[in-house]
C-alpha cells in the first residue's frame, strides 16, 4: 500500500494558482494545509508557524524558492519544479532539499515522495555494517559518530544501503535516485568519490563499504 501523508501541517508554495488549489484540495482531506503563491508570503508563514513538511516551487514571482531554506533548517522540503536539468537538481539538493520532483508529476507520486520524508524513526532507519541512516531526519551515524553528508551524498548512500549487495552503474543510480533520465555526466562518480573520502575519514573500516566492480558498477557491502 502506498504511503500516505496524514495529520500533518503542510506548507505548499506554488505560484500557479490552479496547481496550488489542486494540491491544497488533495492534501487538505487529511492534513492542515497552508498555501502561498510567492516567496514573501511563504517567508512570513515559516517565520511564525511550524510545518511538518514543505512542498516548494523554485521559480516564484518575487525570487527563488531556494531562499526559503535559510528558515527551514529542521523541516523537510520537497521541491516541485519545472526546472529539471542536472544543475537545477544539484542546486536544490545543495540547498538542503530532501527530495526533488520535476513537473509534471501525479499527486500519487508527489504524496509518496513526501510520505517517505515523514516516516517515523522505526521505519526511517537503515542499519548496516555499523552505519545508521535515518531517511526522515536525514542523519548518518557511524558507530556513534555523525557523518556530515551533502543531500546528494546522503541520497546515494541511502539508495545503495537499501539495495545492499546489488550493483548499479552510475547512470542507473542517477535514474533511481533522482527518478529522471541520466545526462551522462560524471555527477554520480564525483559524489561517490567524496562520500568514500568522508566515510574513510571516520574509520578505515569504512574503506570497503562501497564496492566497485568493473562492468557492474557500485554496491553497498552486505553484512
What is the pLDDT at residue 198?
Answer: 92
| % residues pLDDT > 70 (the chain) | 98
Cell numbers found for residue 103: 513537473
What is the pLDDT at residue 2?
Answer: 53
Residues written for the chain:
223
Residue 109: how many other CB atoms lie within 10 Å = 13
More confident residue, 223 or 165: 165
What is the pLDDT at residue 151?
Answer: 79
pLDDT per position as a tens digit, 2-51: 578 989 999 999 999 999 999 999 999 999 999 999 999 999 999 999 99
Confidence of residue 223 (pLDDT cuts 50, 70, 90): confident
Residue 161 has pLDDT above 70, yes or no: yes
CA distances (Å), 87 to each of 18, 54, 122, 183, in order? 28, 22, 34, 11
Amino acid at each position: 500500500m502506498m504511503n500516505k501523508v496524514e495529520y500533518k501541517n503542510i506548507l505548499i508554495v506554488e505560484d500557479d494558482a490552479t496547481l496550488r488549489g489542486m494540491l491544497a484540495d488533495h492534501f487538505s482531506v487529511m492534513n492542515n494545509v497552508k498555501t502561498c503563491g510567492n516567496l514573501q508570503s511563504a517567508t512570513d508563514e515559516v517565520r511564525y508557524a511550524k510545518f511538518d513538511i514543505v512542498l516548494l516551487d523554485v521559480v516564484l514571482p518575487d525570487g527563488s524558492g531556494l531562499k526559503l531554506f535559510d528558515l527551514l533548517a529542521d523541516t523537510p522540503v520537497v521541491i516541485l519544479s519545472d526546472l529539471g536539468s542536472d544543475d537545477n537538481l544539484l542546486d536544490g539538493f545543495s540547498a538542503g532539499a530532501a527530495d526533488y520532483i520535476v513537473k509534471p508529476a501525479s499527486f500519487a507520486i508527489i504524496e509518496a515522495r513526501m510520505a517517505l520524508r515523514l516516516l517515523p524513526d522505526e521505519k526511517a532507519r537503515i542499519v548496516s555494517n555499523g552505519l545508521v541512516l535515518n531517511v526522515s531526519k536525514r542523519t548518518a551515524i557511524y558507530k556513534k559518530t555523525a557523518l556530515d553528508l551533502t543531500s546528494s551524498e546522503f541520497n546515494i548512500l541511502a539508495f545503495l544501503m537499501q539495495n545492499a549487495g546489488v550493483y548499479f552503474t552510475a547512470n542507473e543510480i542517477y535514474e533511481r535516485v533522482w527518478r529522471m533520465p541520466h545526462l551522462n555526466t560524471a555527477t554520480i562518480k564525483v559524489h561517490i568519490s567524496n562520500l568514500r573520502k568522508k566515510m574513510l575519514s571516520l574509520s578505515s573500516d569504512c574503506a570497503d563499504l562501497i564496492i566497485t566492480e568493473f562492468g557492474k558498477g557500485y554496491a553497498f557491502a552486505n553484512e
